[in-house]
């Protein structure tokens, strides 16, 4: 079998981007969520409104930010407002259509851990923490999670419950999971080319079920790959340059 002309990460990013409609207001996380949202903005959703937790609204970055404090977000934003107002006047008032999140662990009900691996008091890994994820998971009209799938990340029991997200979809590097309408347990609803349901089950820490009909996700188009790779190249070049800080003499 000929290997696909794209990586699993590229397929995952494209699949996540396709779920965003033009004109939606999207609260964006750093990393894969940011890549997916900006790919959507640069392809089929040019009027997508991106909000980052630092207070940037309507930002249109030319490169992917390193963090929510990246100057690229503020310099390309329509407005920059205080962080408390982002949560009080945008998120909690129902003005955010989509929350895009990532995490270190996820369980069968879509709850997320971004706090610690191992016992909270003495973890083997201390993670960045919740940030705005709990509020986004609770108040956004719809939540999508983007993360790589393995038995270490898709776990039977979280080491710490950071966010009770109840996502509408979880997009992984193998396929897409959506909640069962009755039990709300995540189940396989679509796979990428060359991936089977059994492979997704092998990379999951609980007995993963599948929908009655599992769809095959359409591979990335040449245009989607071209835009995504150009974004990645610009990002690598921008972040590879040394930062010059001028100090008063």
In-domain check, residue 247:
no
Residue 91 belongs to a domain with what CATH number?
A: 3.40.1080.10
Question: Looking at residue 186, what is its pLDDT?
Answer: 98
In-domain check, residue 2:
no
- Return the structure tokens found at 174: 């193998």
In-domain check, residue 244:
no
Cα(185)–Cα(191) distance, rounded to whole angstroms? 17
- Return the structure tokens found at 133: 């994820």
Note if 72 is an active site residue: no
Going by C-alpha positions, the residue among 199, 117, 189 that lies closest to residue 155 is 117
Q: Indicate the number of domains in the chain.
A: 1
Question: Looking at residue 248, what is its pLDDT?
Answer: 82
Ranges in the chain, pLDDT < 70: 1-3
Domain holding 203, by residue range, is 8-232
Cβ proximity of 111 and 87 under 8 Å: no
Question: Looking at residue 73, what is its pLDDT?
Answer: 96
In-domain check, residue 197:
yes
Question: Looking at residue 144, what is its pLDDT?
Answer: 97
Question: Looking at residue 2, what is its pLDDT?
Answer: 56
97-133 CB burial, b ≥16 within 10 A, e <16: bbbbbbbbbbbbbbbbbbbbbeeeeeeeeebeebbbb
What are the helix (H) ranges across 43-181?
Answer: 71-75, 83-85, 133-139
Give the predicted TM-score (pTM) of the model: 0.92
In-domain check, residue 241:
no
- Return the structure tokens found at 27: 């609260």
Cα(158)–Cα(214) distance, rounded to whole angstroms? 27
In-domain check, residue 205:
yes
Question: Looking at residue 3, what is its pLDDT?
Answer: 59
Neighbours of 209 (CB within 10 A): 15
In-domain check, residue 1:
no
CA angle 99, 90, 166 (to 5 degrees): 30
Question: Looking at residue 125, what is its pLDDT?
Answer: 96
Question: Looking at residue 101, what is its pLDDT?
Answer: 93
Which of the following is catalytic: 10, 53, 72, 135? 53
């Amino acid at each position: 079998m000929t290997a696909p002309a794209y990586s699993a990460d590229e397929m995952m990013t494209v699949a996540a981007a396709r779920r965003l409609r033009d004109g939606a207001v999207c609260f964006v996380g750093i990393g894969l969520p940011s890549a997916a949202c900006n790919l959507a903005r640069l392809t089929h959703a040019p009027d997508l409104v991106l909000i980052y937790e630092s207070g940037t609204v309507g930002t249109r970055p030319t490169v992917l930010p390193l963090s929510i404090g990246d100057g690229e977000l503020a310099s390309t934003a329509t407005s920059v407002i205080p962080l408390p107002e982002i949560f009080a006047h945008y998120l909690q008032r129902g003005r955010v259509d989509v929350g895009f999140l990532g995490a270190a662990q996820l369980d069968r009900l879509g709850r997320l851990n971004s706090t610690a691996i191992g016992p909270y008091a003495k973890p083997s890994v201390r993670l960045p923490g919740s940030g705005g994820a709990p509020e986004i998971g609770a108040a956004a009209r719809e939540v999508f999670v983007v993360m790589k799938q393995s038995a270490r990340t898709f776990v039977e029991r979280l080491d710490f419950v950071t966010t009770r997200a109840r996502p509408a979809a979880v997009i992984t590097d193998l396929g897409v999971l959506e909640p069962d309408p009755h039990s709300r347990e995540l189940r396989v609803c679509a796979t990428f080319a060359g991936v089977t349901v059994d492979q997704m089950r092998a990379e999951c820490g609980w007995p993963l079920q599948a929908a009655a009909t599992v769809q095959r996700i359409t591979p990335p188009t040449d245009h989607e790959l071209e835009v995504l790779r150009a974004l990645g190249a610009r990002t690598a070049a921008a972040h590879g340059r040394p930062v010059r800080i001028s100090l008063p003499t």
